[in-house]
């Protein structure tokens, strides 16, 4: 397998296995964030996978704008200030989700709910843990 094929297979495996309570996450509305103790593998990664890393945007293959949203390492280490643990107002991903920074694809607010944006903010506030 070449690198692109491996990345595609890995992406599909994450998508198939990332559901909460054993359910497969295929749509943004399938991801429900709790009021506290937001989990990277339980909510954040599934949310980013179906809203941002799908359709050739921020995945391993295309990484639109050089931004990959496919792993904890990519979120924390690839780009300065993409996610700043404990500081959501300084985190680019939160600024984009909240509409404070522009996004080339104008339908982003229509694909995510305010509860999901608050869930992402909560995860960053709670320290953006790799849990």
Residue 3 has what pLDDT? 47
Output the pLDDT for position 76.
Answer: 95
Q: For 48-74, how does the pLDDT look when each residue is reduced to its tens digit (9 = 90+)? A: 999 888 767 888 887 788 899 999 999
> Which residue, 69, 65, 20, is CA-closest to 41?
20
Rounded to a whole number, what is the largest CA-CA distance in the chain?
41
10 Cβ neighbours under 8 A, 6+ residues apart: 60
For residue range 1-48, list pLDDT tens digits in order.
444 433 433 343 343 334 344 457 888 888 999 999 999 999 999 999
**What is this structure's pTM?**
0.79
Give the separation between CA 93 and CA 82, rounded to whole angstroms.
6
Indicate the domain borders of the chain. Answer: 3-125
Comparing CA positions, the residue from 100, 93, 23 lying closest to residue 58 is 93
């Amino acid at each position: 397998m070449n690198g692109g094929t491996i990345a595609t297979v890995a992406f599909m495996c994450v998508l198939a296995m990332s559901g909460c309570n054993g359910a497969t996450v295929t749509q943004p509305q399938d991801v429900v964030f709790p009021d506290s103790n937001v989990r990277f593998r339980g909510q954040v990664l599934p949310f980013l996978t179906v809203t941002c890393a799908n359709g050739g945007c921020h995945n391993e293959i295309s990484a639109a704008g050089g931004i990959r949203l496919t792993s904890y390492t990519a979120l924390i280490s690839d780009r300065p200030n993409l996610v700043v643990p404990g500081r959501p107002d300084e985190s680019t991903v939160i600024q984009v989700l909240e509409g404070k920074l522009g996004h080339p694809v104008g339908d982003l607010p229509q694909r995510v709910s305010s509860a999901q944006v608050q869930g992402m903010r909560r995860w960053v506030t709670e320290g953006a843990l790799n849990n």
